[in-house]
A and B are shown apart, each in its own frame.
Chain A
Amino acid sequence: MLETARQYRRCKKSPVEKTRAFLEKIRSDTFNAFITVDEAGALQGAQVAEELLKSPDAGALAGIPVAIKDNICTRGVRTTCASKILSGFVPTYDATVVKKLKEQGAVILGKTNLDEFAMGSTTTSSIAGPTRNPRDPSRTPGGSSGGSGAAVAAGLCAGALGSDTGGSIRMPASFCGITGLKPTYGSVSRYGLVAFASSLDQIGPMAPTARDAAVLFDAIKGYDPLDSTSVPRDYGPTDLDGIDLKGLRIGVPEEFFGEGLNQEVKAAVQSGIAVLEDMGGRIVEVGLPHAGYGVAVFYIVATAEASSNLARYDGVRYGLRVQDPLDLGDMYARTRATGFGPEVKRRIMLGTYVLSAGYYDAYYRKASQVRTLIAEDFRSAFSRCDIIAGPTTPVTAFRLDEMIDDPLSLYLLDIYTIPANLAGLPALSMPCGFDSLGLPVGMQLMAPHFREDLLLGAGISFQDRTAYHQEGS
């Protein structure tokens, strides 16, 4: 990304040329990374960027072609959430992140594939069909931001935006061998992100390197008066030179290395941590005693919020509406039965159940309390360390034809990523090695609220020293 920016400035390449080249590549994409490609909009954006680049003040993103996950609203370009229920829906406004990218001259190539409403970890439940992993097309790219992950890994864009509710940026980043950042809750505006679970959702960058992820993150972060949960504070730019790891206390929670973790993944992550140590980091053992409840808490809080967030898809104002309903109830029932896929329905039903009279205290209230305990765990861990390191996922990308059809096992894939969402913490996934099949393994770094500088800085320094992020494709 930064190299492209330099080329633009040396007039070696122009944004229009570059955009045409990406669009050409996307046309022969065999991974099904995109749901919608906006060729006209992209070329128009590239032209605007050429003008911008005539000024010395043009930012690093001017003319850089990026992709947007298709649950982020784009004015005039259909936004499907990979769901039949939103068929025909064209937003009348740009999400704040899209507006920011456009203002900085980024070229938006199109909208990437995802699990329906970002609910899943395989990018297989989309109406547009499954996305394949560019590292091995017989395998899943992970999810739910699998389209963004695959687009970045396959070089179909310079960078992409994903969204992360329980690991949806980090997991595909891990499976596709790229870098992905789930920012602190409240540091990137959610305005225009179609909500799955409002208290957990966060938009973040996915890119080939931590440095590129930092450039994208800097472009989208900041307080937004349109999002009441966005935090007003001073958001300085990230230091793209990385940080000195000397003396950095790296917490390694034993809970992240227990049962269920694939041995090859474990070995790769441990070697990654060894690199950090070798660079001057100091390893500290920390405990996250309640992290084990994360998945259970997540599937109560997230489904409860989802059951309410998805109530608006009723066939009244936009998207799908079934023909000739008998009455209002029939219109609702059949529209929603036809429009939502099985995983979305499962979560709506779970969420409706846990909020029901007589069950609220046992489920939702209890889950909220445990959520607080998990946040407390991190608070106390971060009194002993600066960042926490561990695996992003317990396994590497699995074959699409070996798809696990037991939802519970699929849910457990998010066991290491969910805690950061529950606590609102920033977390980064970057490649740290390969398994015996040559599939990338992701290492997850977590930091205290608003300390993305530590994550991106450590990531940049790590990648300046290693080549995992360049290998394998």
Chain B
Amino acid sequence: MKAYDTVIGLEVHAQLLTRTKIFCGCSTQSGLPPNTSTCPVCTGMPGTLPVLNRKVVDLGIMLGLATGCRIASRCIFARKNYFYPDLPKGYQITQYEHPLCEGGTILIETGQGIRRIGITRIHMEEDAGKTIHDDKAPSSYVDYNRSGVPLLEIVSEPDITSSDEAVAYLRELRQILMYLGICDGNMEEGSFRCDANVSVKPAGSSRLGTRTELKNMNSFRNVQRALQYEIERHIEIRESGGEVVQETLLWDPSRSVTASMRSKEESRDYRYFPEPDLVPVEIDTAWIDGVRSGLPELPFARRKRFIEQYGLPAYDAGVLTQAKTVADYYEECVRLLDKPKELSNWIMTEVMRVLNEQGIPITGLNVSPKMLTGLIVLIKKGSISGSMAKEVFAEMAATGESAESIVEKRGIGQISDEQELQSLAQEIINSHPDEARKYCSGKTGLLGFFVGMLMKATQGEANPKLASRIMKELLEG
């Protein structure tokens, strides 16, 4: 088999977290009863007109700046014409010839190091409603609550060379959107959706192969599997002397295959033209600067800074910066207690475990950074052992109480009373004469056995270091 290069371009639709829709005042809240968040404008009643929600432009500029795009000084909306019941006007208001942002970059980390993926354009548009088919009834239903919810469409350059890179790009883009707080990134619920254009060509060739378009990939795993399937399908066709047909395909996750949705001949002519109901959006530098001043540090930069500033391993930095809220939590902890690696360990293990168990974001955690560092201070002071601290933490997460008050209430301070420990230790040595003899004759490895017995006798509340010293002194003395 010959070697092939894969060429992938991705189109992402990100639902924006504005309070109201892009062209009317209806709420964008999801999960409401059908058609309750609608008005004459977003249901396309005759005579109604769109009015642009300026917040959508703000958020679009924000993403443009975060990905190094040029922000248009003047951008215009266009109509994309097609018929479908969930599209109430018979056209979608989107952008075509003059989008909001062009020419940006997203950096991704791959096995071969850092790669730049170009962003062709970012534009604003409205979402459609939802068609609900009832298999038992001869009719279908339409819910227009989603109609007019603002979207950003982010189109990448065909710079992506593998399914893994595609996923890395999507993860990075999703993370940026979530860092900016402009999209919740939920793929299953469709607030972060992705279509792909795929082709293969002989390795090194400059001539692009025929591409196919892939839709319906609603998880990173499905994106990876669908693209891998499609790449292999293209190669197989070429190897057997066939030709790839330009078409749009749907990924079928249950059968793990792609299936044709429509051919090139059936492709729609959307008859784009400038939207006459909206005036061009003029964006001056003051507007852009205003948005820029509110930009947070982006994931890629923050990861780098965590490694340099806190001396964290790349792995830790990656995990901690995955979500902005977690990174913020971590940095607040470090500010309160200068133990970067120890805090990282705690957050990556105990904190994350509780978040997973409770299915909550870190902002919903009962344990504030101040409370977590308070717990770690107790360990440092030797008041409680590390293993006990984990139990205390679980209780903090369950009840919201501070470490100090839990330790006090349960009376689980470590036993640091030397006399008490000494008498307990002596009892243990007396009741294990054989082991004591062996220790004295050189089997010093038995110290662990004795310390363990002591810990057991104190139900784990003995200060382990103290327990070890006392045991050693008694055995050797």
A interface residue numbers (CB < 8 A to B)? 72-73, 79, 81, 86, 89, 91-93, 95, 190-195, 197-199, 225-229, 304-305, 307-308, 310-312, 314, 316-318, 328, 332, 352, 355-357, 360, 364
A357 — which chain B residues lie within 8 A by C-beta? 269, 271
How far is A228 from B279 in the complex, measured between Cα atoms in Å? 7
Task: Determine if B45 and A92 form an interchain contact, defined as CB atoms under 8 angstroms apart.
Answer: yes
B85 — which chain A residues lie within 8 A by C-beta? 314, 316, 328
A308 — which chain B residues lie within 8 A by C-beta? 79, 81, 90-91, 271, 273
Known contacts: A308-B90, A356-B271. The answer to whether A332 contacts B83 by CB under 8 A is yes
Known contacts: A92-B45, A190-B49, A194-B47. The answer to whether A199 contacts B276 by CB under 8 A is yes
Task: Determine if B40 and A194 form an interchain contact, defined as CB atoms under 8 angstroms apart.
Answer: no
How far is A191 from B50 in the complex, measured between Cα atoms in Å? 9
Residue in B49, B50, B51, B273 whose CB lies within 8 Å of A360:
B273
Task: Determine if B47 and A312 form an interchain contact, defined as CB atoms under 8 angstroms apart.
Answer: no
How far is A73 from B47 in the complex, measured between Cα atoms in Å? 7
- Chain B, interface residues (CB within 8 Å), range: 20 to 34
Closest to A301 in B: B276
Closest to B82 in A: A311
Shortest A188–chain B CB gap in Å is 13
B43 on the A face (CB < 8 A): yes
Closest to B142 in A: A316
Shortest A223–chain B CB gap in Å is 12
- Chain B 254-278 interface 0/1 with A at a Cβ cutoff of 8 Å (1 = within): 0000000000000001011100111
B43 — which chain A residues lie within 8 A by C-beta? 317
How far is A316 from B144 in the complex, measured between Cα atoms in Å? 12
Q: List 12 A-B contacts (CB under 8 A).
A: A192-B47, A194-B46, A226-B51, A227-B49, A228-B278, A307-B81, A311-B90, A312-B46, A312-B88, A312-B89, A314-B90, A332-B83
B288 on the A face (CB < 8 A): no
B110 on the A face (CB < 8 A): no
Known contacts: A92-B40, A308-B273. The answer to whether A86 contacts B46 by CB under 8 A is yes
Closest to B84 in A: A328
- Chain B 30-52 interface 0/1 with A at a Cβ cutoff of 8 Å (1 = within): 00000000001001111111111
How far is A318 from B269 in the complex, measured between Cα atoms in Å? 26
B49 — which chain A residues lie within 8 A by C-beta? 190-191, 226-229
Task: Determine if A91 and B45 form an interchain contact, defined as CB atoms under 8 angstroms apart.
Answer: yes
Known contacts: A92-B45, A93-B40, A352-B271. The answer to whether A228 contacts B50 by CB under 8 A is yes
Task: Determine if B91 and A89 form an interchain contact, defined as CB atoms under 8 angstroms apart.
Answer: no
Given contacts A73-B46, A92-B45, A308-B273, 11 further A-B contacts (CB under 8 A): A91-B45, A193-B47, A199-B276, A226-B51, A308-B79, A310-B90, A314-B83, A316-B88, A317-B43, A318-B46, A355-B271
Known contacts: A228-B51, A308-B273, A352-B271. The answer to whether A81 contacts B90 by CB under 8 A is no
Closest to B277 in A: A198
Known contacts: A73-B47, A227-B49, A317-B88. The answer to whether A311 contacts B40 by CB under 8 A is no
Residue in B40, B51, B79, B273 whose CB lies within 8 Å of A225:
B51
Task: Determine if B269 and A356 form an interchain contact, defined as CB atoms under 8 angstroms apart.
Answer: yes
B273 — which chain A residues lie within 8 A by C-beta? 304-305, 308, 355, 360, 364
Closest to A357 in B: B269
Task: Determine if A228 and B45 form an interchain contact, defined as CB atoms under 8 angstroms apart.
Answer: no
Task: Determine if A228 and B91 form an interchain contact, defined as CB atoms under 8 angstroms apart.
Answer: no
Interface residues in B84-119 by Cβ distance below 8 A to A read: 85, 88-91
What 7 A-B pairs have minimum CB-CB distances, sorted nearest first?
A: A311-B90, A355-B271, A198-B276, A199-B276, A194-B46, A192-B47, A73-B47
Closest to A192 in B: B47
How far is A193 from B272 in the complex, measured between Cα atoms in Å? 23
How far is A440 from B83 in the complex, measured between Cα atoms in Å? 46
How far is A352 from B269 in the complex, measured between Cα atoms in Å? 10
Shortest B93–chain A CB gap in Å is 11
Task: Determine if B47 and A317 form an interchain contact, defined as CB atoms under 8 angstroms apart.
Answer: no
Known contacts: A73-B46, A312-B89. The answer to whether A305 contacts B276 by CB under 8 A is yes
How far is A307 from B81 in the complex, measured between Cα atoms in Å? 9
Closest to B275 in A: A198
B45 — which chain A residues lie within 8 A by C-beta? 91-93, 317-318
Shortest B331–chain A CB gap in Å is 43
Shortest A301–chain B CB gap in Å is 9
How far is A114 from B266 in the complex, measured between Cα atoms in Å? 38
Interface residues in B346-367 by Cβ distance below 8 A to A read: none
A79 — which chain B residues lie within 8 A by C-beta? 46-47
Q: Name, among B50, B90, B142, B269, the residue most crowded by chain A CB atoms within 10 Å (CB to CB).
A: B90
Task: Determine if B81 and A317 form an interchain contact, defined as CB atoms under 8 angstroms apart.
Answer: no
Q: Name, among B83, B85, B276, the residue most crowded by chain A CB atoms within 10 Å (CB to CB).
A: B276
Task: Determine if B46 and A91 form an interchain contact, defined as CB atoms under 8 angstroms apart.
Answer: yes
- Chain B 43-80 interface 0/1 with A at a Cβ cutoff of 8 Å (1 = within): 11111111110000000000000000000000000010
- Chain B 159-195 interface 0/1 with A at a Cβ cutoff of 8 Å (1 = within): 0000000000000000000000000000000000000
How far is A92 from B44 in the complex, measured between Cα atoms in Å? 12
Closest to A227 in B: B49
How far is A352 from B90 in the complex, measured between Cα atoms in Å? 13
How far is A193 from B48 in the complex, measured between Cα atoms in Å? 8
How far is A225 from B271 in the complex, measured between Cα atoms in Å? 29
Closest to A331 in B: B85
A197 — which chain B residues lie within 8 A by C-beta? 276
Task: Determine if A317 and B44 form an interchain contact, defined as CB atoms under 8 angstroms apart.
Answer: yes
Shortest B436–chain A CB gap in Å is 89
Closest to B279 in A: A228
Task: Determine if A311 and B89 form an interchain contact, defined as CB atoms under 8 angstroms apart.
Answer: yes
A360 — which chain B residues lie within 8 A by C-beta? 271-273
Q: Name, among B45, B52, B79, B89, the residue most crowded by chain A CB atoms within 10 Å (CB to CB).
A: B45
Task: Determine if B47 and A229 form an interchain contact, defined as CB atoms under 8 angstroms apart.
Answer: no
Closest to A304 in B: B273
Known contacts: A199-B276, A228-B277, A308-B91. The answer to whether A191 contacts B83 by CB under 8 A is no
Residue in B40, B47, B278, B279 whose CB lies within 8 Å of A195:
B47
- Chain B 265-300 interface 0/1 with A at a Cβ cutoff of 8 Å (1 = within): 000010111001111000000000000000000000
Q: Name, among B83, B269, B271, the residue most crowded by chain A CB atoms within 10 Å (CB to CB).
A: B271
Residue in A194, A195, A228 whose CB lies within 8 Å of B52:
A228
A191 — which chain B residues lie within 8 A by C-beta? 47-49
Shortest A311–chain B CB gap in Å is 2
- Chain B 205-238 interface 0/1 with A at a Cβ cutoff of 8 Å (1 = within): 0000000000000000000000000000000000
How far is A89 from B47 in the complex, measured between Cα atoms in Å? 12
How far is A23 from B5 in the complex, measured between Cα atoms in Å? 79
A332 — which chain B residues lie within 8 A by C-beta? 83
Closest to B40 in A: A93
How far is A228 from B23 in the complex, measured between Cα atoms in Å? 10
How far is A192 from B277 in the complex, measured between Cα atoms in Å? 13
Closest to B43 in A: A317
A312 — which chain B residues lie within 8 A by C-beta? 44, 46, 88-90
Closest to B271 in A: A355
Shortest A226–chain B CB gap in Å is 6
B142 — which chain A residues lie within 8 A by C-beta? 316
Shortest B218–chain A CB gap in Å is 24
Shortest B98–chain A CB gap in Å is 14
B40 — which chain A residues lie within 8 A by C-beta? 91-93
How far is A95 from B47 in the complex, measured between Cα atoms in Å? 8
A229 — which chain B residues lie within 8 A by C-beta? 49, 276-279
B89 — which chain A residues lie within 8 A by C-beta? 311-312
Shortest A200–chain B CB gap in Å is 9
Residue in B50, B81, B269, B279 whose CB lies within 8 Å of A311:
B81
Shortest A350–chain B CB gap in Å is 13
A92 — which chain B residues lie within 8 A by C-beta? 40, 45
Shortest A85–chain B CB gap in Å is 10
How far is A337 from B77 in the complex, measured between Cα atoms in Å? 30
A352 — which chain B residues lie within 8 A by C-beta? 271
How far is A364 from B45 in the complex, measured between Cα atoms in Å? 26
Task: Determine if A72 and B276 form an interchain contact, defined as CB atoms under 8 angstroms apart.
Answer: no
B278 — which chain A residues lie within 8 A by C-beta? 228-229
Closest to A319 in B: B46
How far is A89 from B277 in the complex, measured between Cα atoms in Å? 23
